[in-house]
Amino acid sequence: MRKKKKDENPSNRHQSPPTPPHDSSMSWASGFTGQYSTQLEFLANGQPIFVPVVGTSDGILNSGNPLVGVWTPGPLPKSNGKLWLPGGEIDIPTVWAEKAVAPSRKGLFAFAAVAIGNFRAAVAGRAVLEGGTRSALPDFPRIWELAAYLLDHKTRRDVYAPSIEELKEDYCTTRRKYRTKWARRWLRFSFAIRTIALFFSCFRNMIVVVIRFLLLCWLPAPARTAVERILHLN
Amino acid sequence: MPQPDLTLLQFLVLSPLLDGELEGRDLRNFLAQKGKRLGRPAFYRLMSRLEDAKFVKGWYENRDIDGDTVRIRAYKITAPGARACEAMHNLVASAAKNRLGLEGA
């Protein structure tokens, strides 16, 4: 999830505390010292949703819609969250809650009324908050992208870059299917291995080009072409 | 016999581009279907050479996957590429014809 805007207006800090969510038996934590207003962006089923929210620093957040509220008990991230909807409560596994919140306020998130239908469907299908809430690509082993700078410019631009983009596409597509922590760790590990293999393959490719240049540069063009054909260097 | 501008592998990779633009992954799949499996680096090296020879034009297309943008390499054949492909096609066809003619004799 990305936090879109934070209202730094000091007047917002002195508003009355957010009201408890509707139809909730859980009480709001007390003792907060300040509150903030902000706008959060979610992607539910691929649709961006902007939700004005009011929250406090100790883990309470109230959505712009009084009928929709989310609360995650205790310091965050910790345990399952609850989503209050007009029809009742829905438990939210920690993974979802962690994905859905801003890094500084883990566990807190809210949805606008327009999102409820989408969210219910997503909860039923266990496909909630896919992507968009947080980019999948930071998980992609960046060190192996940086390793590309060991390659020469042409290899990096013409060979490594398109290959790595394909790998990223694979990664993003595959990551959608697996949600548990260990599955995703395994995915990261697997793609790290694949990226290493790709890097070495590109490196070998670069070496072949250099060797070919050194070996064949002294030959006239037709002979060079013939040797390349024989050795399948094209 | 005139020397073709393309190798058989280059001809193979150019031929589906005669029908329109294709992404790198689709081209690799096409080659795999034809029994020529290439790894990503080898494939993109091949395409890079074709680009250097101005037989194909490559560019990146942005694709959004769950909010993440990945750049997909796509290719289209150029006029010199199409001509080289056609010349290679004619060459292969005439060679096949000659061979058939010899076998028939």
Higher pLDDT, A38 or B29: B29
Q: What are the domain boundaries of chain A?
A: 2-124, 137-230
Over range A22-42, report the average pLDDT.
34
Q: What are the domain boundaries of chain B?
A: 8-100
- What pLDDT, on the 0 to 100 scale, is given for residue A143? 67
pLDDT single digits (tens) A57-116: 333 344 444 333 444 333 333 333 444 443 444 444 332 333 333 333 333 343 333 333
**Percent of chain A scored above 90 by pLDDT?**
0
Distance CA A160, CA A73 (A): 46
Chain-chain contact of B67 with A158 (C-beta, under 8 angstroms): no
Chain-chain contact of B66 with A176 (C-beta, under 8 angstroms): yes
Q: Is B39 on the interface with A (CB under 8 A)?
A: yes
Chain-chain contact of A136 with B46 (C-beta, under 8 angstroms): no
Whole-prediction pTM: 0.55
Asked whether the predicted pLDDT for residue A35 surpasses 50, the reply is no
Over range A16-41, report the average pLDDT.
35
Task: Place B102 in a pLDDT band, splitting at 50, 70 and 90.
Answer: low
- What pLDDT, on the 0 to 100 scale, is given for residue B47? 92
Chain-chain contact of B51 with A154 (C-beta, under 8 angstroms): no
Least confident span in A24-28, A119-123, B64-68: A24-28
Top-confidence range, A86-90, A177-181, B100-104: A177-181
Distance CA B8, CA B12 (A): 6
Residue B82, CB-side half-sphere exposure with 13 Å CA sphere: 10
pLDDT single digits (tens) B21-75: 999 999 999 999 988 888 888 899 889 989 988 899 999 988 877 767 788 899 9
To the nearest whole Å, the CA of B104 is away from the closest chain A CA by: 30
Distance CA B99, CA A212 (A): 34
Question: Which chain B residue has its CA at the smallest distance from A234's CA?
Answer: B46
CB contact at 8 A, B51 and B80: no
B8-100 fold: Arc Repressor Mutant, subunit A (1.10.10)
Distance CA A1, CA A96 (A): 11
Chain-chain contact of A162 with B3 (C-beta, under 8 angstroms): no
- What pLDDT, on the 0 to 100 scale, is given for residue B76? 92
Asked whether the predicted pLDDT for residue A52 surpasses 70, the reply is no
In chain A, the N- to C-terminal Cα span, in Å, equals 47
CB contact at 8 A, A20 and A34: no
Higher pLDDT, A133 or B25: B25
Q: Is A85 on the interface with B (CB under 8 A)?
A: no
As separate numbers, helices (DSSP H) first and strands (DSSP E) second, chain A gives 7, 7
